[in-house]
Amino acid sequence: MFILQSLASHTLLNVLNGRNLSDQLHSTQAQHPELSGAERAALLDLCYGTLRHYGWLQATLARLLKTPLADRFVDTLLSVAIYQLVHTRAAQHAIVDHAVRAATQHENGKFKSLVNAVLRQFLRQREALETELARDTVAFWNHPDWWIAELRSQYPKDWKAILKASNEHPPMSLRVNLRQQTAADYLQQLEQAELAASLVALPVRQGEAPLAIRLTKPVNVDKLPNFFAGSCSVQDIGAQLAADYLDCQDGMRVLDACAAPGGKTCHLLEQYQLDLLALDHDAQRLRRVEQNLQRLQLQAKCQVADAAETKKWWDGKTFDRILADVPCSASGVVRRHPDVKWNRRKTDIRQFAQQQAKLIDALWPTLANGGKMLYATCSIFRSENEQQIEQFLQRHRDANLVWQHAVLPTSHHDGFFYALLQKNG
């Protein structure tokens, strides 16, 4: 266990220095191919769990230590160990012992006595600490104070529910490839594989509500029947709304401007016969789009390009529909990416808003008269959503807002924002 504690602490140290959690976990696992499947799962739990409860863990350490630790590895190691003591079934003495062993291998072991003392002090004072920390806003909600303040201001009735949902373990939802079978048919395959699941009707805006599937318990994709043959994809229910909201018809020329990793691209092609161009500025991420298309037996043109630099990729032929799933703060999906809430700064939101405005302004001329553009984010901050659309309409008098819809995170889905814009003419 001490090896896993050490690996988790090193991984989280890089994450808290601004690195992406998924990338860091992939790097750690690649460097340690000897880890078993169970050990890899345990490593994921240590990293995700520590970040999910990081506000509480840091507030706890602040009360246990006379002065903040200058050594950030030890600070992170203590956070991982306290997370284990509170949220896992591992024996307390084993957690403390392994944390001390991990500290022994760091800086010639000069912190091992401190680690031992702090963890044992926590065990003695845990009940009193939990009572005290219930009155600490950051510790209680496990979000930065500025983030909490923004949500309280923007959602005075819903901010507590949003924060609560954002701290939960995310559900695992499936999108069934309707070119192969119906959702009901695939549900039967799951039942035969002894995987508990249920059908969920999506709140669509037109026609018959398509069905998604929500698993009772998440599993690895290799457990899903015919996953690698393209029968289904893992996609949050909130993200599955985009394909309906874009309001496509067979034969349309469609642009997915920020396509990676390709979930929405593939969903559109599963439902309609389209001439679709998928762009992404990152070649490696665009490769994931191509892999998903291949697995699902779908076809689209994929091109590495910055969608905002239209002179470098646009052939002058307008699009009937544009999906602008723009870069954003990812504030609506932090339960899947808990590193986001600790690495984001309030000033980042303004920078995202500027980037979004530049992108949709650049894309608008590529849309045909009468065509529609779906603006989408996985953010819940209004400066990236409603305010962005309001400002866009002021800049573009030939734009008409058909509707806009904020999907706030709940126990059933993540948080998203959608706005459908139509070009007059």
Q: Residue 116: pLDDT above 70?
A: yes
Q: Residue 348: pLDDT above 80?
A: yes
Count of CA atoms in the C-beta half-sphere (13 A) of 189: 17
Q: Is 378 part of the annotated catalytic residue set?
A: yes
Task: Tell me the pLDDT tens digit for each residue of 373-423.
Answer: 999 999 999 999 999 999 999 999 999 999 999 999 999 999 999 999 999
1-5, 366-370, 379-383, 420-424: least confidently modelled range: 1-5
Choose the catalytic residue: 47, 248, 302, 378: 378
Domains present along the chain, CATH in parentheses: 2-141 (1.10.940.10), 143-170+239-425 (3.40.50.150), 172-235 (3.30.70.1170)
The residue type found at 394 is Q
Task: Tell me the pLDDT tens digit for each residue of 305-340.
Answer: 999 999 999 999 999 999 999 999 999 999 999 999
Task: Tell me the pLDDT tens digit for each residue of 201-248.
Answer: 887 766 666 789 999 999 999 999 999 999 999 999 999 999 999 999
Name the 3-class secondary structure at 175: strand
**If you compute the radius of gyration of the chain from its CA atoms, what whole number of angstroms results?**
23
**Which pLDDT score, from 0 to 100, does residue 373 have?**
98
**Which pLDDT score, from 0 to 100, does residue 158 have?**
97
**How far out from the chain centre does Cα 194 lie?**
28
Mean of the per-residue pLDDT values of the chain: 95
**Which pLDDT score, from 0 to 100, does residue 207 have?**
62
CA distances from 203 to 214, 232, 243, 315, 407 (A): 15, 20, 12, 36, 11
CA distances from 420 to 6, 62, 183, 325 (A): 48, 47, 27, 12
Can you spell out the DSSP letters for 253-313?
EEEETT-TT-HHHHHHHHHS--EEEEEES-HHHHHHHHHHHHHHT---EEEE--TT-GGGT
d(CA 331, CA 182): 33
d(CA 14, CA 361): 36
Measured CA angle at 285 (ends 386, 289), to 5 deg: 85
**Which pLDDT score, from 0 to 100, does residue 61 have?**
97
